[in-house]
Structure 1
Amino acid sequence: MLRRSLALTLFVGLPLMACSDAANTAPVAATGKPVDIEAYQKAAKAHGFSTGPVMASQTLYVFFDPACPHCAQLWANAKPLAKKLRIVWIPVGWLRPKSIEVGAAILSAPSPADAMEEHESKMLARTGTMTLPETVPEEAKAKLKANTDLFLSLRSESVPLIIYRNGKTGAHGRTEGAISADEIANLVGL
């Protein structure tokens, strides 16, 4: 029985170890490394949805998994920047099998931002997930799988993965975790 309990604990807990909060991950200094520039260019081609002004001077890309509570916290932390910064939220299906269905439902919703708000609010309150439609379009699942492959190609070890370009310095970088609004603003040079 003890062996089964330990195995269950490891099975349930290991995926969330790849889910990062700000307490465990400090922002990486902005660099002009080709790998960071390439990551920014790749993220720009991913399947996501935007919040904030379409014509904002800065765009931040966030790879998130719907099963990640730290991603939900980053969603909440980013709200004060809603009028200044365009954030492209890119769902991936990495932590749990259900992540693909939930992420695809968010991506294919009439208002992905509203669906994300419902889902992330429930995640933070620990009351479940968004209301899922009866069927999730296969096209949305395919987009989510493509996002997941892209995320894995970036060799990140956790979500949320934040990819940015600093508007003041032009430097590109990446960081992981549920960083604060002030830290986000600092990364992008707001």
Structure 2
Amino acid sequence: MRPLTLTIGLLSLTAATTLSADTSWPAPIQALVEEGLEIHARFEAPSGLAGFAASHQGRAMAVYLTQDGEHALVGTLLDAEGNDLSAAPLDEHVRSAQEAEVWQELEQSHWIADGDPDAERILYTFTDPNCPYCARFHEQSRPWVDAGRVQLRHIMVGILKSDSPAKAAALLGADDPSSALQAHQTEERVAEARAQPREIEERVRANNQLFESLGLMATPTTYYRGDDGRLEQVQGAPQEARLIEMMGSPRP
């Protein structure tokens, strides 16, 4: 068997915790669980190790239990050629599930459609009514949106200025939100900060909470699924090469 290297990322600990009645985790794994680690799956690992796909505060990590069941190591397992043996299990058991959950949250958020609903590619983009870079991204996307290749779904948030929430609510609550957003983005942000029904204002608050829960800092922040199906995130108005990658095809 080829030699293996375990790069320790966090800690190594000795079993010191008794299994609780409602879990079957080995004691060192249970100790990590009680420290806040979430175990997603167990997977096969070489050299007598047992692998566990885990995460902590959204960060994926691999845990390896020694053959005697007495110690757990947290880190990246490498073979003699330097290949990362932890990446594939984490992708399968943690990252893919996390990405699916984020995509579902985006789908269920409160957004304004921009483009053909049957477009081949869907992009969710967090948009603040006072964000000039959001307007720039809107302009950048026109060739693909107008060609029916891409639909943007603008998740309206209010974070940049004091009147941003009210403007976002006004756009969400418009009789024709898509037309209202189009006018706002192309006519120097014409949305007025006016009181809206409580239901509409709550939608903006929910979008703001989603923005914060995802750890985002700036608008626009855009999510899409690449050609490989993986979730991608882009902050700001992208450069041309990145824009083409996001849109999934050359400029029409």
Instruction: Calculate the TM-score normalised by the size of structure 1.
Output: 0.72
Alignment-derived partner of residue 183 in structure 1: 242
Give 3-state SS (helix, strand or coil) of 2:165's partner: helix
Contact 2:169 2:196 in 1 (8 A): yes
Give the aligned partner of residue 79 of structure 1. 142
More helix by share: 1
State the partner residue of 2:154.
Answer: 89
- Kindly indicate whether the alpha-carbon contact (under 8 Å) linking 1:165 and 1:188 is maintained by their aligned counterparts in 2: no
Shift of 1:38: 3.0
Q: How do 1:36-185 residues align onto structure 2 when only pairs under 5 Å count?
A: 36-82=99-145, 83-123=148-188, 129-132=189-192, 135-166=195-226, 168-179=227-238, 183-185=242-244
* Bigger radius of gyration: 2
Q: Distance in 1 between matches of 2:186 and 2:139?
A: 8
RMSD across aligned C-alpha pairs, in angstroms? 2.0
Where do 5+ consecutive residues of structure 1 fail to align?
1-31, 124-128
5+ residue gaps, structure 2, are 1-90
**What is the count of residue pairs matched by the alignment?**
153
Q: CA deviation at 1:180?
A: 5.3
Structure 1 residue 121: deviation in Å?
2.3
Q: Which has the higher strand share?
A: 2
In 2, distance between residues paired with 1:39 and 1:184? 22
Larger CA deviation: 146-155 vs 177-186: 177-186
Higher relative contact order (CA 8 A, sep 6+): 1
Percent of matched pairs sharing the same residue = 27
C-alpha contact 1:36 1:174 (8 A) present in aligned 2? no
1:67 match: secondary structure: coil
8 Å contact from structure 2 (residues 144, 247) kept in 1: no
3-state SS of the aligned residue for 1:70?
helix
SS of the residue 1:96 aligns to: coil
Offset of 1:42 from its aligned partner?
1.2
